[in-house]
Amino acid sequence: MNRIFELIEKQNTIAIVGHIRPDGDCIGSSLGLYNYILDNYPNKRVDVYLEPISEKFKFLNGAKEIINEPSHEVYDISISVDCSDTERHGEFGIIFKNAKNTVCIDHHRSNLGFGDLYYCDPDASSACEVVSRFLDMDKISKSCAEAIYMGIIHDTGVLKYSATSEETMYIVGKLISKGIDTQFIIDETFYRVRYSQNRLTGKALMKSKQYLDGKVIASNITLEDFEEFNASKEDTDGIIDKLRVTEGVEVAILAYQIDDKTYKFSMRSISYVDVSVISVHFGGGGHIRASGFYIIGDYEESLGKILDMVSKQI
Ligand code: 5GP
Ligand code: MN
């Protein structure tokens, strides 16, 4: 950690990159670091590279400055946050690859390590929690605190998932002391839903089926379902959380169709099934209790293969 921080302190141009389809934790950790560096080292230049982010995240300081297109600029250092492998950088991989120094800060169990310097804690609740370990709490501004708090809220399901630790709560307490509007952040970025999202959720719940004596629940959303409610991929947010709280369920599975041949799968488990190994098997990754991957093939057939692996663990 000290080596990473000393390295960052020495560099003048800094590029922060996250993962494709950035979520709350990815955006929060990117902008938390961005604000901290600019607040405390105003002579440095910091650029954040991410795919376009949802409107609800744009209240964060620096969100409007996020660059959505990769460039050929060679930065002194590129810092990767919340990203389990370099594939997940998507088109911003070039920024990371071209930088003179590279650092990886992460919390994914499936992360095998990359970058000149690498710090990954698979037991940390979020990338934001890991990033906060690098920061001097007394030097965190309100803008920085808002970003980091938001990421922790998202990756812990509002301080609920098992990775929420004493350290998580200690950091959250410190962030709240900066005067952030916690209710606004929780309601507007986590719980608020669109009409199309509610209707898509309803359909996915109606279509859900139970397997393995009800220990598994699975559902799928087809291109036709998206069309029916004029819904987008963003509208799938939160559906898996509704599936996973079903009585008797250990594993929840949600697939949504990307195109004719491809499905994106998300998996969640409650207490003993390791869904990370299953996702890694299919070329994806994640955590013990939350993971995902892409499969080319038919939904029922892919689900069959997944259920085989789940049933062995159960
Ligand atoms: P979600 O199901 O919400 O998309 O993702 C849950 C967790 O699994 C996230 O931490 C995410 O980083 C990881 N994950 C989801 N899809 C993929 C994937 O295709 N590849 C990898 N490596 N990780 C994924
Ligand atoms: Mn994360």
Q: Are residues 90 and 42 in the same domain?
A: yes
Q: Are residues 184 and 207 in the same domain?
A: no
Query: Tens-digit pLDDT profile for the chain (314 aa)?
Result: 999 999 999 999 999 999 999 999 999 999 999 999 999 999 999 999 999 999 999 999 999 999 999 999 999 999 999 999 999 999 999 999 999 999 999 999 999 999 999 999 999 999 999 999 999 999 999 999 999 999 999 999 999 999 999 999 999 999 999 999 999 999 999 999 999 999 999 999 999 999 999 999 999 999 999 999 999 998 999 999 999 999 999 999 999 999 999 999 999 999 999 999 999 999 999 999 999 999 999 999 999 999 999 999 99
Closest to 193 (Cα-Cα) out of 144, 148, 235: 235
The number of the ligand 1 atom at minimal distance from the alpha carbon of 23 is 3
Q: Are residues 244 and 288 in the same domain?
A: yes
d(CA 274, CA 262): 24
Ligand 1 pocket test target in 279, 280, 282, 295 with most atoms within 8 Å of CB: 279
Verify whether ligand 1 is closer than 6 Å to residue 88 (CB atom).
Answer: yes
Dihedral (Cα; 77, 82, 86, 92), 10-degree rounding:
-60
CA 122 / ligand 1 centre spacing (Å)? 14
DSSP letter for each residue of 160-176: TSTT--HHHHHHHHHHH
Q: Per residue in 234-258, pLDDT tens?
A: 899 999 999 999 999 999 999 999 9
Q: Which ligand is nearest to the CA of 107?
A: 2
Where among 130, 156, 191 does a domain terminate? 191
**Where would I find the H helices in 23-92?**
24-40
d(CA 207, CA 298): 16
C-alpha 303: how far from chain center: 23
95: domain CATH number is 3.90.1640.10
Strands (E), the chain: 13-17, 45-49, 77-81, 101-106, 117-120, 209-211, 216-221, 251-257, 262-269, 285-286, 290-296
Q: What is the pLDDT of residue 90?
A: 98
Domain total of the chain: 2
CA 111 / ligand 1 centre spacing (Å)? 12
Verify whether ligand 1 is closer than 6 Å to residue 156 (CB atom).
Answer: no
Q: Is 265 helix (H, G, I), strand (E, B) or coil?
A: strand
Q: What is the pLDDT of residue 141?
A: 98
Q: Are residues 221 and 116 in the same domain?
A: no
pTM score of the predicted model: 0.91
Q: Which residues neighbour 258 within 8 Å (Cβ) at sequence distance 6 or greater?
A: 264, 294
d(CA 94, CA 9): 23
The number of the ligand 1 atom at minimal distance from the alpha carbon of 87 is 22
Q: Are residues 169 and 38 in the same domain?
A: yes
Q: Are residues 163 and 254 in the same domain?
A: no
Q: How many CB atoms lie within 10 A of CB 169?
A: 14
210: domain CATH number is 3.10.310.30
Q: What is the pLDDT of residue 307?
A: 98
Q: Per residue in 67-87, pLDDT tens?
A: 999 999 999 999 999 999 999
Q: Are residues 28 and 177 in the same domain?
A: yes
- Structural domain span for residue 261: 195-311
